[in-house]
Amino acid sequence: MQTREKHMNISGKSIVCSVFSVLVLSGAVTAQKWVNPNFDAQRLDYRDLGYPGANEIEADNSPITALLSHTNGKVYGATSGDQSYLFFFDRTINKVRPLGKIPASRGVHHCLLEGGDGKIFIGTGLNILEQVILIKNFPGGQRAIENQLWEDIKAPYKAYEGGHIFVYDPVKGDAQTYLPEDKCPVEDLGIPMKGNSIYAMTWNKDRTKIVGITYPDAHFFMYDLKIKKAKDYGKLLSVKVYSGPERTWRSVPRALVCAKNGNIYTSGDHGLMVYYDQGKDALVKTSMRIPGEYYETWNYYGYPVIEQLIEDVSGMIFGSTSDGFIFSMDPSEEKIVTLGKPRLSRRVRAMTRGNDNRLYMICGEFQEPCKMYSYDMSGKEGFFDMGVLGVDRSPYYAKRPYQFDAMAVGIDGSIFIGESERRAKLFIYIPGARVYDGILNPNNPRYNPE
């Protein structure tokens, strides 16, 4: 009898172990659905924004909305939320280290610049990712919806003092250790435009002035570092439109670029490019129209705006629009060429130029998962769909992110991608030989078994 009970116990344990093994194996198989078949999975990973349980930037304050590749080899980033934080990725330790809270800031949107002395300039504002509260009941009349939308967008800024420009010194600041409650050691250069967030920034040609655009009033300003004062050049846009980059945002260009000729370009009214002429000390309109959806015959007025602008080593400028188009611009000939639209949906959320002569971009709107694409800048291959950025390191960890808002390229060519969900991570993609795009992929139209 004892032998029989012992045998039954052993059999019971065997059954339990077998069931457990099936569940574990099933889980492992299920986890493999995280893998994206469009590129080599081992080339994509992510890093936490600090040490979990110690100094990690907390959820709701961790969405990454700005990234900067620094000449010191590190990649710096800033977050948006109830409180903005600065952080950096150090390739020598393969980790992200937080640098503390950015004072008086809830958002840093694509406004990180490296100065000639290596210091980092930070443009701050409110959290643009925060949901806009829309009033449901309001009086009717002509353009009633547009007028009320403007009131709703402006509401958070009524008591807002304005975004600051801060300076951070990596030489002094990086060596310290920061806890979540610590403040980032920055110098405050003041508020260039009252009642507005700083929405885009770039340098003038000799890096003595910061050129910027504000949100929501779309002022064009220039901050002189020598005298520490800002000059307001007035409103960049004469008409308020709501054609993107998101449905409840005012359409304001989110990027500027200083060309080799010293002119500083962005987009203006009617989707036409404008530039700041240093000789005239004024904004000049051009006839170059950025690609997008224009509905001139409808009872509607709107146009796309610039999302990103990147200058090539040759002086050619590559840009993206809120309607999801990619284009090239030759400033010397004042000519724009539409390169295409990588995804059906609107918006290019982030874009950067890789060391492999390809543009990398994140495309998609808030209500759908983002996808990554690349574009061969030589024009030989065009766009390549790299799919969703699913990371699978099962059984240790796995993550399929949905929203991104920033990109940068490290000194080794790695592509850094800032997730902008509530518990965000810093994603890293390492480009390489695309075996899936060549003879090793029989599903590719260019497959050549010979």
CATH of residue 205: 2.130.10.10
Give me the domain span that covers residue 55: 35-437
Asked whether residue 344 is assigned to any structural domain, the reply reads: yes
Does 52 map to a domain?
yes
What gap in Å lies between CA 324 and CA 292, rounded to an integer?
7
Question: For residue 38, what pLDDT is reported?
Answer: 67
Computed over every residue of the chain, the mean pLDDT equals 88
Domain membership of residue 17 (yes or no) is no
Alpha-carbon gap, residue 271 to 291, rounded angstroms: 8
Look at residue 298 in the predicted model and tell me its pLDDT.
Answer: 66
Residue 380's alpha-carbon distances to 129, 199, 329, 358, 384, in angstroms, are 37, 35, 18, 11, 12
Q: How much is the average pLDDT of 12-36?
A: 47
User: Rounded to whole angstroms, how far apart are CA atoms 124 and 167?
Assistant: 11
With a pLDDT cut of 70, the percent of the chain lying above it is 87
Radius of gyration over every alpha carbon of the chain, rounded to an integer in angstroms: 24
Q: Residues of the chain with pLDDT > 90: what percent?
A: 71
> What does the pLDDT look like over 226-285, one tens digit per residue?
999 999 999 999 989 998 888 889 999 999 999 999 999 999 999 999 999 999 999 999
End-to-end, the C-alpha distance of the chain in Å comes to 70
Which residues does 36 contact at the CB level (< 8 Å), separation at least 6? 44, 386, 387, 388, 389, 390
Q: How confident is the model at residue 440 (pLDDT cuts 50, 70, 90)?
A: very low
In angstroms, the CA 113 to CA 166 distance is 11
Residues pairing with 353 in the sheet: 359
Handedness of CA 272, 277, 283, 285 (dihedral sign): negative
How confident is the model over 300-310, as a mean pLDDT? 91
More confident residue, 381 or 326: 326
What pLDDT score was predicted for residue 345?
Answer: 86
- The pLDDT of residue 25 is 43
Inform me whether the pLDDT recorded for 438 exceeds 50.
no
**Overall number of domains in the chain:** 1
Q: How far apart are CA 82 and CA 96, in angstroms?
A: 21
Please report which residue ranges of 114-213 form alpha helices under DSSP H: 144-154, 170-173
For residue 18, being part of any structural domain is answered with: no
Q: What is the structure's pLDDT at 297?
A: 65
Domain assignment present for 29: no
Residue 442 lies in a domain: no
CB atoms under 10 Å from CB of 220, counted, come to 25
> Rounded CA gap, 354 and 346, in Å?
23
Note the pLDDT of residue 351: 97
Query: Which residue carries 């005012």 as its tokens?
Result: 250
**Among 8-22, 58-72, 132-146, 287-301, which is the least confidently predicted range?**
8-22
The answer to whether residue 421 sits within a structural domain is yes
Q: In the predicted model, what is the mean pLDDT of residues 13-40?
A: 50
Does residue 9 lie within any of the structural domains? Answer: no
Confidence grade of residue 424 (pLDDT, cut at 50, 70, 90) = very high
Cα separation, 64 vs 420, whole angstroms: 5
Contact in structure between 414 and 360 (CB atoms under 8 Å): no
Reported residue count of the chain is 450
Q: Is the predicted pLDDT of residue 218 greater than 80, yes or no? A: yes
